[in-house]
Chains A and B, each alone.
Chain A
Amino acid sequence: MSLLHIDNLRIGPGRAAPIVEELTLSVERGETVGLVGESGCGKSLTALSIMGLLPENLRVREGRIRLEGQEIQSLPQRRLRHLRGEKMGMIFQEPLTALNPVMSIGSQITEVLRTHRGLSQRAARDRALDLLTLVKIPDAEARLDDYPHQMSGGMRQRVVIAIALACSPSLLIADEPTTALDVTVQAQILRLLKQLQREENLGLLFITHDLGVVRQVADRIVVMYAGSVVEEGRVDAVLDAPRHPYTAGLIAARPQGSFAAGTPRLADIAGSVPAPDARPDGCVFRARCPRAHPRCAAERPALDRAASGRAVRCHFPLTEGETA
């Protein structure tokens, strides 16, 4: 039984075109899955749907989300609330605005513990102190009574991590947790996350658009394009030998060029991600695909799973060593 299993998920507003569709992915205990894609491809919405925090106009229309075997996509907020913070925690992109400006750091940590664990003020404060030490905030004792504006972005993100980990959840979702930070701070936070993930045996769903970051932290990678998964597999396998033309394009578009040696080319993928209501029939990537073929317009490719855990959604996937 997977820690998190999402099966054929479809998210969208009432009648209009879905934003996420046919999304299937799973996260095991102690595993880090990197969810990658351009902005607007639906990766953040996927995260929010797991937490049950979708904006009011969007809803899970189809499919299942299972956490430790329990279906949660149809749970009422009342029940879901007990899972948030307790079984699953989330870290957001903007550490500068993710904390309440008029509450002290300490009280923002202790309230999670008091809500889910029913700890006394004293006990919660002791645990908060441990947590701040855990996320390596220096002089933790003095920091408990600080307010967010007194801390730097990196420190605030550590606090957010401490909050997410307060009740020792089994699943941690991190939505671009380092994007808003300086490069050096970014590296520290990544290292911290990786270390905590190993120590606490967390399942970590790491959402990013940065392939370099994925390579650093993730065991497996799931590439999303225009609302669905286009490729999935072990990080090294996918990044070294992408099979979907989109993945190949993403890798080629990195400033450093391909991860695979000997392809010194900086390319971009022509065009842009189509809006949910403008997605073409057949393969959604075909308009931007160098390998598009009439069949791609006629027939939407299925996600083709191999025994190795590698999956690709393409009629004409790349073979080993080929570039898009």
Chain B
Amino acid sequence: MSEPVPLTGTGTTGRGPAKAPSRRLSPALRYVLRRLLQAVLVMMLVMVGSFLLVKLAPGDMVDAMAGTRDLTADQIAGLRERYGLDQSVFVQLLRYMALLATFDFGYSPINAAPAMDVILARLPVTAILVVCSVSLSMVIGTLFGILASRFAGKAVDLGISMFMLLLYATPSFIIAILLILVFAVKLRWLPIAGFESVGMGYTGLTYLKDVAAHLILPVTALCTFYIAIYGRIGRASMLEVLKLDFVRTARGKGLTEGRVFYVHALRNALLPLVTMAGLQVSSLFGGAVLIETIFGLPGMGRTAFDAVFQRDTNLLLGVVFISSLAVVIVNFVIDMLYMVLDPRVNLK
């Protein structure tokens, strides 16, 4: 879902005084380790939250975990033991966390299979959606932002800004419906739903083309909001960086305006955009629920939607856990990437 984002102020300007280079214990390694530890802590908090949700559900944990199934007394007793329901809440929590940590989310009654198996089967579709959306929106949004900053105050900038405002205010599911209406229902250019054309037996390149045609609309719908975000942040960030002293130094050196703009300014202006990608991935896993439902795509979002309506708590919380884990991993990768992009990061 759309994550609100502050659109001014970028992290590139303020910074501490210089320090003499310290090369005692590799600061890079310390940084990596600290980030890793933070990631683990965050995942543990996610597990605690998940546990709280199960506890919040009407009925006791076994009712929630059992979902709509009719269980025998034996099975219920087995579940009670498994989750340690006869023991203290703390022990229950620890058992629950241990199960999650081994990717054991329990049984999914609606799929008659372990929840983890269901999720693994649905993961690729969502992963494709997320990867395509992140890369597309980042490239397109940044290009818009650069273009707008290049022509700041001119008609091009105004046009782009208005367009961004519209994209920013339109929820993804409305874009999705609009796209279906125009490109699938009226123009009939693209398929209305699904991941592939069923029963056509496509292989090889034809299959890829078929899948791509099915993905154009959902990916576009997921992209628009973040195109606006990247565009707006990119523009603001570029304008802020262009005011900095080192840009004047670069011009004073007689570099071409292109080099000043695209090498000196852009590299600095991109830093806040990179940090956005983590938030975007997180919000895309949420948006996937809407988009996969609308386009009938067999991904994790659609799975979560089904799980909610069929009261399959195991599956639902499994999706939440796996999505969060994916976000944590992406964030970790971004932190590492950031270390390469911004040499100052070790100091923090």
A interface residues (Cβ-Cβ under 8 A, vs B): 51, 53, 77, 81-86, 89-90, 92, 94, 96-104, 111-112, 115-116, 146-153, 156, 160, 163-164, 166
Contact = CB atoms under 8 A, between A and B. Distances in A.
Contacts of B250: 100
A101 B18 contact: no
Contact of A149 (B249, B255, B347): B347
B250 to A, nearest CB: 7
Given A81-B256, A101-B343, 8 more contacts: A86-B254, A97-B246, A111-B259, A115-B255, A115-B256, A116-B254, A163-B249, A164-B252
A99 B246 contact: yes
B244 interface: yes
Nearest to B256: A81
Contacts of A84: 251-254
Interface string B304-348: 000000000000000000000000000000000000011110010
Contacts of A53: 248, 251-252
Contacts of A92: 245, 248-249, 252
A187 B99 CA distance: 67
A151 B347 CA distance: 13
For the side of the interface on B, what is the size category?
A: 20 to 34
A167 B244 CA distance: 24
Interface string B94-126: 000000000000000000000000000000000
Interface in B255-269: 255-257, 259, 264, 267-268
B18 A96 contact: yes
Contact of A98 (B19, B245, B259, B268): B245
Given A53-B248, A102-B267, A153 B254 contact: no
A99 B268 CA distance: 12
B63 to A, nearest CB: 55
B201 interface: no
Residue in A83, A84, A166 whose Cβ sees the most chain B Cβ within 10 Å: A84
A150 B21 contact: yes
Contact of B246 (A77, A101, A152): A101
Contacts of A111: 253, 255, 259
Contacts of B267: 100, 102-103
A43 B238 CA distance: 28
Contacts of A104: 343
A85 B252 contact: yes
Given A150-B18, A152-B18, A101 B344 contact: yes
Interface in B2-29: 12, 15, 17-21
Contacts of B20: 150, 152
Contact of A94 (B12, B18, B245, B253): B245
B254 A146 contact: no
Contacts of B18: 96, 148-153, 156
A75 B95 CA distance: 76
Contacts of A89: 252-253
A146 to B, nearest CB: 7
A309 to B, nearest CB: 30
Contacts of A160: 249
B253 A100 contact: no
Given A85-B254, A116-B254, A153-B18, A147 B343 contact: yes
Nearest to A77: B257
A83 B254 CA distance: 7
Contacts of A97: 244-246
Nearest to B243: A55
Contacts of B343: 101-102, 104, 147, 149
Interface in B69-105: none
Given A149-B343, A160-B249, A100 B268 contact: yes
A100 B264 contact: yes
Contacts of A164: 252
A154 B343 CA distance: 20
A116 B256 CA distance: 10
A195 B302 CA distance: 73
A101 B343 CA distance: 8
Nearest to A153: B18
B254 A81 contact: yes
Contact of B254 (A102, A112, A150): A112
Contacts of B252: 51, 53, 84-85, 89-90, 92, 164
24 contacts: A53-B248, A53-B252, A81-B255, A84-B254, A85-B254, A85-B255, A89-B253, A90-B252, A92-B245, A92-B249, A97-B245, A101-B343, A102-B271, A102-B342, A103-B264, A112-B254, A115-B253, A147-B343, A149-B19, A149-B347, A150-B19, A150-B20, A152-B20, A163-B249
A266 B57 CA distance: 80
Given A146-B21, A150-B21, A152-B18, A98 B341 contact: no
B245 A102 contact: no
Contacts of B251: 53, 84
A156 B254 CA distance: 19
Residue in A92, A148, A149 whose Cβ sees the most chain B Cβ within 10 Å: A149
A172 B136 CA distance: 46
A156 B246 CA distance: 12
